[in-house]
Chain A
Amino acid sequence: MSFISQSSPHAHATNSTQKVMLTVAAATTPGFIALVYFFGVGVIINLALAIIFSLALEALVLYLRKRPIKFYLSDCSALVTAILLGLALPPYSPWWLIFVGCIFSIVVAKQLYGGLGFNPFNPAMIGYVVLLISFPVNMTLWTAPVGFANAPSLAEAFSSVFLNAPLDGYTGATPLDAFKQSQGETVAEIYQNESIFSDAVIAGAGWEWVNLGFLLGGLFLLWRKIFSWHAPVAMLVTLTVCSFLFYNGGSDSGAPVLTHLLSGATMLGAFFIITDPVSSAVSQKGRLIFGACIGLLVFMIRHFGNYPDAIAFAVLLMNFAAPFIDYYTLPRSYGHNKSRRATEKVDV
């Protein structure tokens, strides 16, 4: 008799890409719950639409590319992209906004580059940035974190999403908007004038809990060794250090450290966006640099730029730099005195 011939190793860990993706998706649960709790049913609609559109578009492109649809859909990478995009968009966004975002995330940023593993940019962030630049009004129209009971009803939500009906009376500034729009006021004045802060425990009503939720999910992923600590820690430390250095005790509009850490998409970005392995640097050293640079860019855009938040821009800018970082951050291999550079000239 003869046997199947295959090369070693013959044993495999039970891990799989699907499991990794599903774990990441599951880890968004605390943050997702916080979002629903403060912003209402709109978050659920967002997420549901994003997932439906993304999977459908992924399947369509796989069909056009003549790839086995079930095999590739089952890696669940499109699901994760959809969840991240859905969580990043303002609740109650019109359906077409989500659709356009999904097209750019799944079709353009991912499949046109060759599918999973070949995309140089974070797909969710591409979709987000395209929308932010193309439809700035819709993209800054966040409802106030009034709580699930006071949030728009299901009927209002559907009319907003599908009929483009305005949700007057529900919208409100996010904490970072508040800072950006209140230039010239002291931090104390902002805190006093903006209800989003007056109702807050530490750093903006609702948003602080959303960020803590994502932090919790991120710690879960770290524990599961889905990614290494290097990039998120580097990013958060850099952001903390920068905001601390530039905070002068509240005598101008510079936001305090906790506001930076626990508002906007800080924690979502730190644990779910910049840890996307495909578009980030690969080595531990490289990921430290990658994360630190994102932290620095986030702070600089928030503090000196025109946009209230900056995770998407910072991540995309550093996606550009990732291969460059990789070239110069090879680890020192066993038996070598120092690490090499990928750019050095070698004779084959």
Chain B
Amino acid sequence: MTAKPITTELIATSAQHARKIFPIAGGVHPPQNKSQSLQRPLVSARLPEKVILPLAQHIGAPAKPLVAVGERVLTGQLVAEAKGFVSANIHASISGTVESIEELPIPHPSGLTGPCIIIHSDGKDEKAAQDECENYMELGREELIEKIRSAGLIGMGGAGFPTSVKLAGQAPIEHLIINGTECEPYITADDILMRNYPYEIIHGVELLAHLLGNPKDIVIGLEENKPEALAALRDAAMGTNIQVVSFPCQYPSGGEKQLIQRLTGKEVPSGKLPIHVGAVVQNIGTTYSAYRAVRYGEPLIKRITTIVGDALEHSGNIEARIGTPVSDLLDQFGFKAKKSSQLIMGGPMMGFVIPNADVPVLKTTNCIIAPSKKEMPPVTPAQACIRCGMCAEACPAQLLPQQLYWYARSDDHEKLLTHNLFDCIECGACSYVCPSHIPLVQYYRAAKGAIRTEREEKAKSDRSRKRFEFKQERIAKAEAEKEAKRLARQKAAQEAKKKLEEQKAQSGSSEATPTKPAAPKVEDERARLERTLASAQTRLESAKNKHQEAVAENSDRVEQLAAKVKQAETRVEDAKSKLAALKTAPANTSADNSQVSAPTSSSTDADNPVEKAIAKAMAKQSMSPYEKVKSSVESLTNRLEKAQQKHAQAVSDSGDNIDALALGVEKLKEKLDAAQQELKELAPDEPSKEAAQKEELDPAQAAIEKAKAKALAKQSMSPYEKAQSSVESLTNRLEKAQQKHAQAVSDGSENVDALALGVEKLKEKLNAAQQELKELAPKEPAKEADQKEELDPAQAAIERAKAKAAANAQLTPKEKLANQIESLKTRIGKAQIKYDTAVEENSDNQEALSLGLNKLKQKLEATEKELAELEE
């Protein structure tokens, strides 16, 4: 087309449009091939039979369909709405019926399919109501942007970024640049638009400027190969502050970054957006559509597309409905399929090959090229890169394409990044000039994809590594806590054991019932006792009933049952008294439970030797060596006094153990001396020595001392006492052995036999000891004292036994036996309770307890028999 002569005059005379044009780097000058499509005026496409509306024509989330299959829609009706902020509405471009919503091949470089709404035309092109607005400039900014958003406007130059998002920014804008460059060969859609609708475009520019806060620099940029468009726009821009400038053709000056550089001299920093240099670039077609949307309420349902190529009868521009199949448009230009080997959507430099002619025209489709095989021959095989550097000369981003190619081929991602791969705009200038016909851009696209994938994978693996590390840490923490708890338990158990041992040593004999290392809480204890009481009462009831029945039936079991009733009564009594005791002394128990290391106020029951011993042991533990020695001196002094008393008594009684007692006294004196000596030595010492002293004293020495004390105590005892203590110790050991045996049985341990044997032996020993005790009894008449199961310290027991013996001396054998029976009954009651508890708790020592209980019963029977014999 020949340029109007007026154009040059306008350029020369108009000061409004004088502007410095800045150079851009690189660039190429491919044959323009624009004249073919400019031979004919713009035409409107015939109404297509159907339209295919892909839901993702824009950058961002695909739109969400709002219509159902079979639904009738009108032209311009919203059929899919924007999903999220960066997304765009899609409108029906014809009236008709929704045929289907399905996956179809879409025009995309990937060649992938995408969800589409297919509308079958009813041929009426019935329009939906449109919201016209004459005084749109009086509307608020938000309202205007909403109008643009709801019209489904996106960048029509190719990228398809939602326009409303670009306009919604609040950053101050210095330059509003309208891109009418159209630097790609073949394409003339924008040229035709500018020629045909210059006033609408100028109104659109004013609208966009208004929305962007009226930036001081508003410019429409064109390449100088569009003189008519330039003239038309300048004519329309008369009286506005809009500059319309043209500059020499240089592909790719229409690239956003390049255009900004061309018109402002500014470079958009790498990885940043134009807004960082205060610029907003809008496509000329978008500008026009924005005006139409705001002024006439027209959604984006049609656009101008260039149909060009040697495989067509003629070329030209056509206003087509969005979604029209490409084949439908090509038909209108006399497409000869045989002449063509490919169809290109977009320009020859950055456009992409479409898989077939059935794909639809999109909002971004500015051109469809149907080249003949001669026009665009199939690619020639690539030759070796000779690093001639022509690509580097052509690169508008000032990269080194030959080096990028080298590193892309060797997958050297680090080097690709140092060579700024991601600043490549994929304009294709390097590939265009490459004498070896290497598809350079394709290598960069692939490399970018590989790096993005690598980054994603790295991010993913970083996340999972963090997760894993956190998990490991958590597990380690849990393990550590567990271990700490275990150690604490172990320590507690050791301490309890130690206390027990110390207490044993204190008591001067090895008799002791197994004390629970950690007594249950008072509440538990009380509950247990209450349960026991309740069960005992029930038993009593049932026993009484049975007894009455037996009496009524005159059964021979009456006596037996009467005994049972008695037994039950005793048990109830016992449980009651225990409960009462617990209620009266809860503080004491809890103090004991909390395992305070310091001795509590000695509110400890005087008749609770276990607690006493524990308290003592605790007191000892918390003592310094000096204190220990001091206390040992005191205790020795005590013992010496007692021994001396005993000796004196023995002398006065002319007992046969005078000598032994005298020896004991001597020994105690010696010990006392030694202890006093030690005390003296320790006294001046500072506590710094304590630790060492403690260690020395603690395990070995203490044990020796304990053993000595024991031996001494034994020595000072009468034979009867000795026998008594040995019986007690044996009973104790037997019980333990039985427990062990029972446990071994329940655990199915392999040493059951050995343990059973041990139990047997212990029984024999116990019998022997009891025999001995009996023999000794007449001499020192204090028989029952040894029967006591409780943990009495030997000394106290002896004292009590003596007192008892004194009392017993007055009793008849009958009375003695009766007493014995009483005591046995009490013990049986107690044992029964223990056993019941064990059964209730399903404890390990049930069997042992039942054994003990049976024995006691046998004993009782024997004693009762003895009594009966005596009575006869």
Q: Given contacts A8-B349, A13-B28, are A348 and B442 in contact (CB under 8 A)? A: no
Q: Which residue of B354, B390, B402 is within 8 Å of A15 (Cβ)?
A: B390
Among candidates B111, B423, B435, B454, residue contacting A348 with C-beta atoms closer than 8 Å: B454
B63 proximity list for chain A (CB < 8 A): none
Q: A3-B342, A334-B396 are in contact. Are A115 and B384 (CB under 8 A)?
A: yes
B368 in contact (CB, < 8 A): no
Q: How far is the CA of A16 from the CA of B219 in the complex (A)?
A: 40
> Is the Cβ of B417 less than 8 Å from the Cβ of A333?
no
Whether A335 lies near B268 (C-beta < 8 A) is yes
A2/B418 in contact, CB under 8 A: no
When the two chains form their complex, are residues A117 and B386 in contact, meaning their CB atoms are under 8 A apart?
yes
Q: Decide yes or no whether A169 CB sits under 8 A from chain B.
A: no
Of the candidates B28, B441, B458, the one whose C-beta lies within 8 Å of that of A7 is B441
Known A-B contacts A7-B442, A75-B383; A342 and B418 likewise in contact (beta carbons under 8 Å):
yes
Q: How far apart are the CA atoms of A9 and B251 in the complex, in Å?
A: 12
Within 8 A of B (CB), among A264-289: 277-278, 280, 282-284
Bound state CA distance, A225 and B439, in angstroms?
22
User: Are B349 and A3 touching (Cβ within 8 A)?
Assistant: no
Residue contact B433 to A335, C-beta cutoff 8 Å: no
Residues of A with C-beta under 8 A to B419: 330, 340, 342
CB distance from B90 to the nearest CB of A (A): 26
A19 to B433, CA, bound (A): 13
Residues of chain B from 287 to 346 with CB closer than 8 A to chain A in the complex: 337, 340-344, 346
A331–B109 CA distance with the chains assembled, in angstroms: 31
Q: Assess whether B400 is in contact with A117, with CB atoms less than 8 Å apart.
A: no
> Is the Cβ of A8 less than 8 Å from the Cβ of B350?
yes
Q: Do A116 and B348 touch (CB < 8 A)? A: no
> Is B261 an interface position by the 8 A CB rule?
yes
How long is the Cα–Cα vector from A17 to B441 in the complex, in angstroms? Answer: 19
Residues A283 and B400 in contact, CB atoms below 8 Å apart: yes
B400, A17: Cβ atoms closer than 8 Å? no
8 Å CB contact of B267 from A9, A278, A280, A335: A335
A75 pairs with B384, CB closer than 8 A: yes
For A159, list chain B residues within 8 Å (CB). none
* Contact A117:B387 (CB < 8 A) given known A1-B337, A11-B376: yes
- Contacts A13-B433, A283-B400 known; A348 to B455 CB distance under 8 Å? yes
B419 to chain A, nearest CB (A): 7
Interface check B755, CB cutoff 8 A: no
Closest to A117 in B: B384
Q: In the bound complex, do residue B402 and residue A282 qualify as a contact, i.e. CB atoms below 8 Å apart? A: yes
| Most central of B261, B384, B426 by chain A CB within 10 Å | B384
Q: Which residues between 8 and 32 of chain A lie within 8 Å of chain B, taking CB atoms?
A: 8-13, 15-17, 19-20
Contacts of B355 in A (CB 8 A): 2-3, 5
Residue A65 interfacial (CB < 8 Å): no
Give min CB distance, B387 to chain A, whole Å: 5
Inter-chain contacts of A9 with B (CB < 8 A): 348-350, 428, 431-432, 441
B107 on the A face (CB < 8 A): no
Residue of A nearest to B439 (CB): A7
Q: Shortest CB–CB separation between residue B454 and chain A, in angstroms?
A: 6
Given the known A-B contacts A9-B349, A17-B436, are A282 and B417 also in contact in the complex, defined by CB atoms under 8 Å?
no
B417 / chain A contacts, CB cutoff of 8 Å: 346, 348
Q: Are B455 and A11 in contact (CB under 8 A)?
A: no
Query: Are A3 and B354 in contact, CB atoms less than 8 angstroms apart?
Result: yes
**Hey, which chain A residues are within 8 Å of B390, CB to CB?**
15, 225
| Nearest neighbor of B384 in chain A, beta-carbon distance | A117
- In chain A, positions 234-279 with a C-beta closer than 8 Å to chain B are 277-278
Check B379 for interface membership: any CB of A closer than 8 A: yes
Binary CB contact string for chain A from 69 to 94 against chain B (1 if under 8 A, 0 otherwise)? 00100010100000000000000000
Is A227 an interface residue when CB atoms closer than 8 A count as contact? Answer: yes
Does B820 have its Cβ within 8 Å of any Cβ on chain A?
no
Q: Is the CB of A12 within 8 A of B432?
A: yes
B436 CB to closest chain A CB (Å) equals 5
The dominant DSSP class at the A interface is loop
Q: Tell me, in angstroms, the Cα distance from A9 to B401 when the chains sit together.
A: 15
* Cβ–Cβ contact B423 & A3, under 8 A: no
B25: CB under 8 A from chain A?
Answer: yes
Q: Is B451 an interface residue (CB 8 A)?
A: yes
Task: Flag whether B199 is at the interface (Cβ < 8 A).
Answer: no
In the assembled complex, the Cα of A77 lies from the Cα of B385 at a distance in Å of 12
A281 to chain B, nearest CB (A): 9
Q: How far is the CB of A221 from chain B (nearest CB, A)?
A: 12
Residue of B nearest to A335 (CB): B270
A-side contacts of B387, CB under 8 Å: 117, 277-278, 280, 282
Query: Is B272 an interface position by the 8 A CB rule?
Result: yes
**A4 and B353 contacting across the interface, CB-CB below 8 Å:** yes
Once the chains bind, are B386 and A278 in contact (CB under 8 Å)? yes
Measured CB to CB, the closest approach of chain B to A311, in angstroms, equals: 21
Contacts of A309 in B (CB 8 A): none
Residue among A8, A17, A326 with max Cβ neighbours from chain B (10 Å): A8
Judge whether A324 is part of the interface by a CB distance below 8 angstroms. Answer: no
Please, how many angstroms separate the alpha-carbon atoms of A331 and B349 in the complex?
Answer: 24
A334 and B397 contact, CB distance less than 8 A: yes
Name A293-348 residues within 8 Å CB distance of B. Answer: 326, 330-336, 340-346, 348
Interface status of B351 (Cβ within 8 A of chain A): yes
Nearest residue, chain A, Cβ from B25: A334
Q: Judge if B445 is at the interface, Cβ distance under 8 Å.
A: yes
- Does A135 have its Cβ within 8 Å of any Cβ on chain B? no
A228 interface hit (Cβ, 8 Å): yes
A341 to B417, CA, bound (A): 10
| Chain B residue with the shortest CB-CB distance to A334 | B397
Chain A residues with CB under 8 A of B609: none
Distance (whole angstroms) from the CB of A333 to the closest CB of chain B? 4
Chain A residue contacts of B671, Cβ below 8 A: none
B571 at the interface (CB under 8 A from A): no
B392 in contact (CB, < 8 A): yes
Do A5 and B389 touch across chains, with their CB atoms under 8 A apart? no
Taking the complex as formed, is B357 at the interface, i.e. its CB lies under 8 A from any CB of chain A?
Answer: yes
| Chain B, Cβ-Cβ closest to A115 | B384
Residues of B within 8 A of A10 (CB): 342, 344, 348-349, 351, 353, 369, 371, 376
Which of A8, A12, A225, A284 contacts B352 (CB under 8 A)?
Answer: A8
Also in contact, A332 and B435, with CB within 8 A (given A3-B354, A13-B30)? no
Q: Does the CB pair B388–A227 fall under 8 Å?
A: yes
Q: Kindly state the separation between the CA atoms of A2 and B413 in the bound complex, as whole angstroms.
A: 35
Interface string of A168-199 (1 = CB under 8 A from B): 00000000000000000000000000000000
**Chain A residue contacts of B386, Cβ below 8 A:** 17, 20, 77, 116-117, 277-278
Q: Decide: A16 and B435 in contact? CB cutoff 8 A.
A: yes
Contacts of B431 in A (CB 8 A): 8-9, 12
A2 to B650, CA, bound (A): 128
- In the complex, A96 has a CB within 8 A of chain B: no
Contact call B342/A4, Cβ cutoff below 8 A: yes
B398 lies within 8 A of A277 (CB):
no
In the complex, whether B41 has a CB less than 8 A from a CB of chain A is: no
Knowing A7-B441, A17-B386, the reply to whether A334 touches B257 (Cβ < 8 A) is yes
Which of these, A5, A8, A225, A228, contacts B428 with CB under 8 Å? A8
Q: Check B389 against A282 for contact (C-beta < 8 Å).
A: yes
Q: How far is the CB of A72 from chain B (nearest CB, A)?
A: 8
* Minimum Cβ distance to chain A for residue B480 (Å): 35
Interface: A118 (CB within 8 A): yes
**Could you jot down 13 A-B contacts, CB within 8 Å?**
A2-B355, A3-B340, A3-B355, A7-B109, A11-B349, A15-B390, A17-B383, A20-B388, A277-B386, A326-B403, A335-B257, A340-B419, A342-B415
Beyond A282-B400, A340-B418, list 15 extra A-B contacts (CB 8 Å).
A5-B111, A7-B109, A7-B442, A8-B441, A10-B348, A11-B185, A13-B432, A17-B384, A227-B388, A227-B389, A330-B400, A333-B423, A334-B261, A334-B267, A341-B418
Residues of A with Cβ closer than 8 Å to B?
1-13, 15-17, 19-20, 71, 75, 77, 115-118, 225-228, 277-278, 280, 282-284, 326, 330-336, 340-346, 348
